[in-house]
Amino acid sequence: MTKILIASDHGGFVLKEKLKEFLVKKGFKVNDLGAHSKVRSDYPEFAYLLASRISSGKSKRGILICKSGIGNSIVANRLAGVRAALCCNIRAAKLSRMHNDSNVLVLGSLFVNPGLAKKMVSVWLKIGFEGGRHAKRLSLVRAIERKIRGGKK
Protein backbone atom coordinates (compact mmCIF):
# COMPACT_ATOMS: atom_id res chain seq x y z
CA MET A 1 0.00 0.00 0.00
CA THR A 2 1.47 3.35 -1.07
CA LYS A 3 1.63 6.02 1.61
CA ILE A 4 0.84 9.67 0.93
CA LEU A 5 0.90 12.67 3.22
CA ILE A 6 -1.85 15.26 3.16
CA ALA A 7 -2.29 18.52 5.06
CA SER A 8 -4.33 21.69 4.93
CA ASP A 9 -5.26 24.72 6.93
CA HIS A 10 -8.88 25.58 7.71
CA GLY A 11 -9.37 26.97 4.19
CA GLY A 12 -8.47 23.65 2.60
CA PHE A 13 -10.04 21.39 5.21
CA VAL A 14 -13.21 20.42 3.29
CA LEU A 15 -11.28 19.62 0.10
CA LYS A 16 -8.67 17.68 2.11
CA GLU A 17 -11.35 15.51 3.67
CA LYS A 18 -12.83 14.72 0.26
CA LEU A 19 -9.41 13.87 -1.16
CA LYS A 20 -8.58 11.67 1.81
CA GLU A 21 -11.71 9.61 1.22
CA PHE A 22 -10.92 9.41 -2.51
CA LEU A 23 -7.32 8.29 -1.89
CA VAL A 24 -8.31 5.63 0.63
CA LYS A 25 -10.81 4.21 -1.89
CA LYS A 26 -7.97 4.08 -4.44
CA GLY A 27 -5.90 2.00 -2.02
CA PHE A 28 -3.55 4.60 -0.57
CA LYS A 29 -2.54 4.81 3.07
CA VAL A 30 -3.20 8.47 3.88
CA ASN A 31 -1.32 10.18 6.68
CA ASP A 32 -3.33 13.29 7.60
CA LEU A 33 -1.10 15.90 9.23
CA GLY A 34 -3.95 18.35 9.91
CA ALA A 35 -5.84 20.58 10.17
CA HIS A 36 -8.47 18.43 11.78
CA SER A 37 -11.34 20.93 11.67
CA LYS A 38 -12.52 24.15 10.03
CA VAL A 39 -11.28 26.15 13.03
CA ARG A 40 -8.96 28.93 11.87
CA SER A 41 -5.38 27.70 11.66
CA ASP A 42 -2.05 28.80 10.21
CA TYR A 43 -0.97 27.24 6.90
CA PRO A 44 2.81 27.61 7.52
CA GLU A 45 2.70 25.07 10.35
CA PHE A 46 1.05 22.39 8.21
CA ALA A 47 3.11 23.15 5.10
CA TYR A 48 6.34 22.93 7.10
CA LEU A 49 5.30 19.71 8.81
CA LEU A 50 4.56 17.98 5.52
CA ALA A 51 7.53 19.43 3.63
CA SER A 52 9.98 18.51 6.40
CA ARG A 53 8.96 14.86 6.08
CA ILE A 54 9.53 15.01 2.34
CA SER A 55 12.85 16.83 2.74
CA SER A 56 14.13 14.34 5.31
CA GLY A 57 13.22 11.38 3.10
CA LYS A 58 10.68 10.00 5.59
CA SER A 59 7.98 10.29 2.92
CA LYS A 60 8.06 10.49 -0.85
CA ARG A 61 4.92 12.42 -1.78
CA GLY A 62 2.42 14.80 -0.25
CA ILE A 63 -0.54 17.04 -0.99
CA LEU A 64 -1.01 20.50 0.55
CA ILE A 65 -4.24 22.49 0.41
CA CYS A 66 -5.13 26.02 1.48
CA LYS A 67 -7.41 28.65 -0.07
CA SER A 68 -5.02 29.90 -2.77
CA GLY A 69 -2.19 27.39 -2.49
CA ILE A 70 0.34 30.19 -2.71
CA GLY A 71 1.36 30.27 0.96
CA ASN A 72 1.76 26.50 1.11
CA SER A 73 3.99 26.45 -1.95
CA ILE A 74 6.14 29.29 -0.61
CA VAL A 75 6.74 27.46 2.68
CA ALA A 76 7.20 23.98 1.22
CA ASN A 77 9.71 25.09 -1.42
CA ARG A 78 12.00 26.54 1.25
CA LEU A 79 13.07 23.03 2.26
CA ALA A 80 15.82 21.20 0.40
CA GLY A 81 14.62 18.46 -1.89
CA VAL A 82 11.02 19.61 -1.91
CA ARG A 83 9.55 20.38 -5.30
CA ALA A 84 6.09 21.69 -4.47
CA ALA A 85 3.99 22.48 -7.52
CA LEU A 86 0.96 24.74 -7.22
CA CYS A 87 -1.41 23.47 -9.90
CA CYS A 88 -4.91 24.46 -10.92
CA ASN A 89 -5.53 22.12 -13.84
CA ILE A 90 -4.80 18.57 -14.97
CA ARG A 91 -2.15 19.55 -17.52
CA ALA A 92 -0.14 21.51 -14.94
CA ALA A 93 -0.30 18.57 -12.50
CA LYS A 94 0.87 16.18 -15.23
CA LEU A 95 3.73 18.44 -16.35
CA SER A 96 4.82 19.05 -12.76
CA ARG A 97 5.58 15.32 -12.51
CA MET A 98 6.94 14.78 -16.04
CA HIS A 99 9.24 17.80 -16.18
CA ASN A 100 9.87 18.77 -12.54
CA ASP A 101 9.51 15.48 -10.65
CA SER A 102 7.29 17.32 -8.17
CA ASN A 103 6.91 15.53 -4.86
CA VAL A 104 4.30 17.84 -3.34
CA LEU A 105 1.09 18.79 -5.13
CA VAL A 106 -0.32 22.09 -3.89
CA LEU A 107 -3.97 22.93 -4.45
CA GLY A 108 -6.00 26.07 -3.80
CA SER A 109 -9.54 25.29 -2.69
CA LEU A 110 -10.75 28.60 -4.17
CA PHE A 111 -9.64 27.49 -7.63
CA VAL A 112 -10.03 23.70 -7.69
CA ASN A 113 -13.32 21.96 -6.97
CA PRO A 114 -13.37 18.40 -5.57
CA GLY A 115 -14.07 16.75 -8.94
CA LEU A 116 -11.17 18.49 -10.64
CA ALA A 117 -8.92 17.92 -7.62
CA LYS A 118 -9.55 14.17 -7.77
CA LYS A 119 -8.65 14.08 -11.47
CA MET A 120 -5.51 16.13 -10.85
CA VAL A 121 -4.41 13.92 -7.96
CA SER A 122 -5.02 10.77 -10.02
CA VAL A 123 -2.86 12.05 -12.87
CA TRP A 124 -0.18 13.39 -10.51
CA LEU A 125 0.11 10.05 -8.72
CA LYS A 126 0.17 8.01 -11.95
CA ILE A 127 2.60 10.02 -14.10
CA GLY A 128 6.33 9.48 -13.78
CA PHE A 129 9.33 11.73 -14.28
CA GLU A 130 10.51 11.89 -17.91
CA GLY A 131 14.20 12.38 -17.12
CA GLY A 132 16.34 13.35 -20.12
CA ARG A 133 16.79 17.10 -20.44
CA HIS A 134 14.65 17.52 -17.32
CA ALA A 135 17.09 15.48 -15.21
CA LYS A 136 19.83 17.97 -16.06
CA ARG A 137 17.58 20.82 -14.92
CA LEU A 138 16.82 19.10 -11.62
CA SER A 139 20.56 18.70 -11.09
CA LEU A 140 20.86 22.44 -11.54
CA VAL A 141 18.10 22.97 -8.96
CA ARG A 142 19.95 20.75 -6.48
CA ALA A 143 23.19 22.68 -7.14
CA ILE A 144 21.38 25.93 -6.40
CA GLU A 145 20.00 24.44 -3.17
CA ARG A 146 23.54 23.49 -2.10
CA LYS A 147 24.82 26.96 -2.96
CA ILE A 148 22.05 28.64 -0.97
CA ARG A 149 22.66 26.39 2.02
CA GLY A 150 26.42 26.82 1.91
CA GLY A 151 27.17 23.32 0.70
CA LYS A 152 24.82 21.57 3.14
CA LYS A 153 22.75 18.60 1.87
pLDDT reported for residue 1: 72
| 145, pLDDT greater than 90 | no
Say which DSSP state 110 is in. T
Kindly state whether residue 153 falls inside one of the protein's structural domains: no
The whole-model pTM stands at 0.94
Q: pLDDT digits over 71-86, tens only?
A: 999 999 999 999 999 9
Kindly state whether residue 76 falls inside one of the protein's structural domains: yes
From 10, 36, 66, 87, the catalytic residue: 66
From 36, 87, 88, 99, the catalytic residue: 99
Domain harbouring 12, CATH code:
3.40.1400.10
87 assigned to active site: no
Nearest to residue 61, comparing CAs of 88, 30, 25, 22?
Answer: 30
Q: How many distinct structural domains can be found in the chain? A: 1
Q: Please give the single-letter amino acid code of residue 24.
A: V
Beta strands in the chain (DSSP E): 3-8, 29-32, 62-66, 84-86, 104-108
Cβ atoms of 117 and 15 within 8 Å: the answer is yes
66 assigned to active site: yes
Beta strands in 14-83 (DSSP E): 29-32, 62-66
Q: How confident is the model at residue 134 (pLDDT cuts 50, 70, 90)?
A: very high
| 153, pLDDT greater than 70 | no
Kindly state whether residue 129 falls inside one of the protein's structural domains: yes
Kindly state whether residue 62 falls inside one of the protein's structural domains: yes
Residue span of the structural domain in which 135 resides: 3-148
| 14, pLDDT greater than 90 | yes
